[in-house]
Amino acid sequence: MKNDIKFNKVTERLPKHLHQFIVKQPYSEYTAQNQAVWRYVMRMNIDFLSKVAHESYLEGLKKTGISSAEIPKMEGMNRILKDIGWAAVSVDGFIPPNAFMEFQAYNVLVIASDIRTIDHLEYTPAPDIIHEAAGHAPIIANPEYAEYLRRFGEIGCKAISSSEDYEMYEAIRLLSILKEDPNSSKEIIENAQQKVEELQNTMGELSEMAQIRNLHWWTVEYGLIGTLENPKIYGAGLLSSIGESKKCLTNEVKKVTYSIEAATQNFDITKPQPQLFVTPDFAHLSFVLEEFANKMALRTGGLYGVQKLIKSKNIGTIELSTGLQISGIFSDVIVDDNNKPVYIQTAGPTALASRDKELIGHGTDYHAAGFGSPLGKLKGINLAIEDMFPKDLEVYGIYEGKKTILLFEGNIKVEGDVITGKRDLKGKILLISFKNCTVTHNDKVLFQPEWGIYDMAVGKEIISAHAGPASINSFKNLGEVSATKTHKISYSGEEIKLHKMYKKVAKIRKSGTIDFEKLTSIFNKTKANFTSDWLLPLEMYELVYQSHSPIETEVLDYLKQLQKNKKFQQLIANGIGLISK
């Protein structure tokens, strides 16, 4: 991240590992044609959405500092967003789902800094500033929805991914980049599309992250609100898409009442959605989110949770009944005859924490080779170690300097000299350390004396399991910025000339005085040299409309001629219709 990015009171709270995803908004790189695309889409959307979007939309645009006049600057948005407790940061396209969710948990909107090209004006598969700023930002001005978004991020960033999820993320990121780049060949796009489809067909059981991503898609991105018969739009994907915002309200698109079932409904990001979910109100979104969260390993823990973490092959955390949190890459779990976990093992750097704060002396440097510990009660003793008072511990031979043998119900045996224990602020014992220690499961050796000090976690059960570390400061290299970067579009000499003409027209518009002579000159050059560009003539027609000047008729006739091209037909018709209102 560059040092010249300014932070405010909201973004200053972001953990350091999220900083790597933040980029400086490349405002100077937006061409005058980019600005015209913004104006066209925003003016068209506001005209239509004022009738069909949730009532928060128009007021939200004002509250978040977004206008149809020009692409918003991040600094300006942040000055206004801070009044509602939010902020925005610029990123390069799609970022990993866990990171995206975590930004939301800190009340920070993630805004892709690029803007769609004129060829993808109605819809783009890539995240862009129209989608993010004009789609997401306005609705967060609604307090109930803003809290849903924050809470979604808080829960969503704890969802456990599968190893296939990241591969899918990279494949979709690449496809969206290629589709938005006008210089991409048809063959390379088709190959990327095929890769996404292959992964979709072989994903197997949906991970927690895949399911919560589905919930995010059908609400935050493509949500409708109200009744099935007369819904309103609030999802950012619909609010930022001229084509889909109109189509989604027709009978062509099936409407279904929003429920937890949406978690298992997959989507195709590259195509218009054939079915949408309708929530009766924003409160119902939170109800479904809580219903889903209650099924997550975050709240259920147990064998299910640790197995999900093992499958994910990423850093995760389990919390024991004592409150001890173990964070690392989980590699193995031993279960008893009743399928209860009796021993857990991590591989590589591991950290121990309590209440999301790393235990002193138990970071990744100390537990660099991994961590393993038994779970459950001792055999023949009804009282769990965690519930023992100091006198109980003494009775069962668990005190400093004592050579002891602990046999757990799962046939895990810990034999060694007790060195010390570690307790939390309330006096609950979290950890017992041994020297000269051997740990076995039946005939299998799990730890031997020459490996050093053995630190045994205390806890009879796993009460929670989630993605990421308990303490955000425990691991230095959290998250991973994709090596696939958004393509910077290279423009030809002729395209640069065209963009300069857009700039001249924009300057005339901002001046408030119409220079008919200059406009006529620009129009003639456009007509002679840029026969496939329809937006610049439309920008000029807006300026000369009802001026009763010769150029007004000329430009309108030219636009009607361009309308013979089906690719531009509806776009031009919509533009003329808006101007003449």
Average of per-residue pLDDT across 523-529: 95
Q: What is the pLDDT of residues 205-231, one digit of tens each?
A: 899 999 999 999 999 999 999 999 999
Which candidate, 297, 338, 352, places its Cα nearest to that of 469?
352
Contact status, residue 348 vs residue 369, Cβ threshold 8 Å: yes
Which residues on adjacent β-strands are paired with residue 53? 233
Query: Does the pLDDT at position 1 exceed 60?
Result: no
Span of 83-92, 369-378, 459-468, 527-536 with lowest mean pLDDT: 83-92
Q: Distance between CA 500 and CA 575 in Å, rounded?
A: 22
- Burial level of 246, CB count in 10 A (0-12/13-18/19+)? middle
Mean predicted confidence (pLDDT) in 143-153: 95
Question: Using one digit for the tens of pLDDT, what is the confidence trace for 80-135?
Answer: 888 888 998 999 888 888 899 999 999 999 988 888 888 888 777 677 888 878 88
The structural domains of the chain, with segments of one domain joined by +, span: 11-291, 316-467, 493-579
Sign of CA dihedral 304, 310, 313, 314: positive
Signed CA dihedral, 232, 237, 242, 243: sign only: negative
Q: How far is CA 106 from the centre of its chain?
A: 12
Mean pLDDT, range 565-569, rounded to an integer:
91
Q: Which of 112, 100, 113 is nearest to 149 (CA)?
A: 100
pLDDT score of 77 more than 60: yes
Q: Is the pLDDT of residue 404 over 60?
A: yes
| Among the four given CATH numbers 3.40.50.2300, 1.10.800.10, 3.40.640.10, 3.40.50.150, the one describing domain 11-291 | 1.10.800.10
Confidence band (pLDDT; 50, 70, 90) for 4? low
Q: What pLDDT, on the 0 to 100 scale, is given for residue 2? A: 47
The one-letter amino acid code at 179 reads: K
Helices (H), 88-162: 97-105, 129-131, 143-156
Ranges 130-144, 220-234, 325-339, 351-365: which has the least confidence: 130-144
Evaluate the CA torsion angle 48, 50, 52, 56 in order and state its sign: positive
